Amino acid sequence: MKSILLIAASEWRYWLRSHLALAAALIFFVLIIAVSVLTAARMEAEKHARSHQQAEAEETFLAQPDRHPHRMVHYGHYLFRTPAPLSIFDPGLDTVTGQSIFLEGHRQNTVMFAESSASADFGGLSWLSPALVYQLFAPLVIILLGHGCISRERESSVLTPLLAMGISGHQLILGKALALVSFTVLLLLPLIASGAIALANGESVVALLSLFGVYGAYLLIWVILTLLISATLSKRSTALGAMTGLWIGFCLVLPSIAVNITTDAKTVAGKIETDLTMLSDLRKLGDGHNANDPAFQQLRADLLKQHDVERIEDLPVNFRGVVAMASEEKLTKVLNEYAESRMLAELQQEQHLLDYGLLTPVLAIASASRAIAGTDLAHYHHFQREAEAVRFDFVQGLNRAHVEELSYENDINRNKDEASWQRARIDASNWQVLEKFEFQTTNISERVSTVSSSIQMLLLWMLIAFGALLWRGGKIKP
């Protein structure tokens, strides 16, 4: 044990004397701190702006004057997707997905206005975030410090005396690993600062620990791989070249190639394509604006029978409102069916992408990080589902007012003259059907359960790399 500590300590002494190691660590820390501050400022501003817009949208809706209730159904409402607390560390899909959605009767609109559509375009890598710095650049620093830790001893002919002194290959590797692992923990310190801000904004401690855990595991994989290559290749320069090649492959090439394969193998039908398929289904449901549509004959017969009257004019409720309500419900069922199948297809496509996590650990860490931060595809879908629930609730609330507050007679005569136009409206107090909305991430256990496969993938990588290192460590020869 003592010799392991001694080896680790001497490795640290070597780094502290090496300008290269110091410079690399310094550049990394400046980069991560700068990016963390800038991202936190950007996301906080976004959050503030979107909450403000949300409050304004609610106010405007409630401030509408007396109207025909169906007018309010088409007047509609807006929801804004406020960013998750941990988006200051990993904004994830926030930039490439829309921020607001317009809700109205009879339709499910798309979420519009993604930041990426309006931003100055410099390509994908320019959406730099603390998460991306850890995923792409922390491994580079580990490689730089670690590539020589065994091959250096071999090159300077220190390995032979070391081994002759009775230090085993395993002890040597463990000592070097200890040094690199302690350095890795140091690299992760800025993550804690971002986490503390998120904590103050209501994020759970478990989420922070999970985030720390997955990034720790990810960087540990790089530590092990670096040691493995350093122990295997005889020259320091070859080890550095090989690790740089591995870094290019894992971080830049393979994730994008996995995207190519996935989109080629598993396509997802777009919104217009799905809409067109759906329309032929919807045509069978009848037009909710037209109470005489044959699709509503049954409803009419039932209602007349129930109230024991002959004509719909004699019903105690507004039949046009009843039709609007019934058709909205039927329609929503179909809309949701298609929306769900589109979201499922997207999830399956993403799952297919993650299956290539065996090619590179970067895919696994990126997906785990987004999920824990609450900025992944599942949360984007979660937002769409919540928006749909809000939409359905306020539309049906207005339809209920249409049924109960507006008489059938006033309703059908609304276009007769100015006075009847005025009579066909209900009191603005009915607009209170709208509830306050703030988008929240799901609870952390749910978030972690969605990424269990990514976490397993990381563990698998770690096990395989560690196994190879143990095997290699036993065979270290001068």
What residues numbered 112-131 form the site for another protein, per CB under 8 A?
112-114, 116-128
Nearer to another protein among residue 174 and residue 458 (C-beta): 458
Q: Give the residue, chosen from 7, 25, 57, 191, that forms a contact with another protein under the rule CB under 8 A.
A: 57
Q: Give the residue, chosen from 13, 48, 271, 289, that forms a contact with another protein under the rule CB under 8 A.
A: 271
Measured CA angle at 219 (ends 186, 156), to 5 deg: 80
Nearest distance, CB of residue 180 and another protein, angstroms: 16
Measured CA angle at 327 (ends 346, 276), to 5 deg: 40
- DSSP one-letter code for 434: P
Stretch that binds another protein, among 160-168, 273-281, 313-321, 333-341 (CB under 8 A): 273-281
Q: Give the residue, chosen from 3, 53, 413, 440, that forms a contact with another protein under the rule CB under 8 A.
A: 53
Q: Give the residue, chosen from 178, 246, 252, 285, that forms a contact with another protein under the rule CB under 8 A.
A: 252
| Per-position DSSP letters for 370-395, written without gaps between them | HHHHT-SHHHHHHHHHHHHHHHHHHH
218: contact with another protein by CB under 8 A: no
Any residues with CB less than 8 A from the CB of 44 and at least 6 apart, and which? Answer: 88
- Binding mask 12-31 toward another protein (x if CB under 8 A, else -) reads --------x--xx--x---x
Please report, as residue ranges, which positions from 357 to 376 form the binding site for another protein (by CB under 8 A).
Answer: 366, 376
Please report, as residue ranges, which positions from 311 to 350 form the binding site for another protein (by CB under 8 A).
Answer: 346, 349-350
Please report, as residue ranges, which positions from 389 to 418 form the binding site for another protein (by CB under 8 A).
Answer: 415-418
Measured CA angle at 374 (ends 371, 379), to 5 deg: 90
Nearest distance, CB of residue 56 and another protein, angstroms: 8
Please report, as residue ranges, which positions from 125 to 184 form the binding site for another protein (by CB under 8 A).
Answer: 125-128, 136-137, 140, 144, 147-148
Please answer whether residues 422 and 428 qualify as being in contact, where contact means their C-beta atoms are separated by less than 8 angstroms.
no
Nearest distance, CB of residue 113 and another protein, angstroms: 3
Nearer to another protein among residue 300 and residue 352 (C-beta): 352
- Listed as own residue / partner, the contacts of 460-469 with beta carbons closer than 8 Å and 24 or more positions apart are 460/358, 461/221, 461/361, 461/364, 462/217, 462/220, 462/221, 462/224, 465/221, 465/224, 465/225, 465/228, 466/224, 468/228, 469/173, 469/224, 469/227, 469/228, 469/231
449: contact with another protein by CB under 8 A: no
CA separation for the pair 395, 76 (Å, rounded) = 8
Q: Give the residue, chosen from 283, 289, 307, 385, that forms a contact with another protein under the rule CB under 8 A.
A: 283
Nearer to another protein among residue 81 and residue 171 (C-beta): 81
CA separation for the pair 23, 26 (Å, rounded) = 5
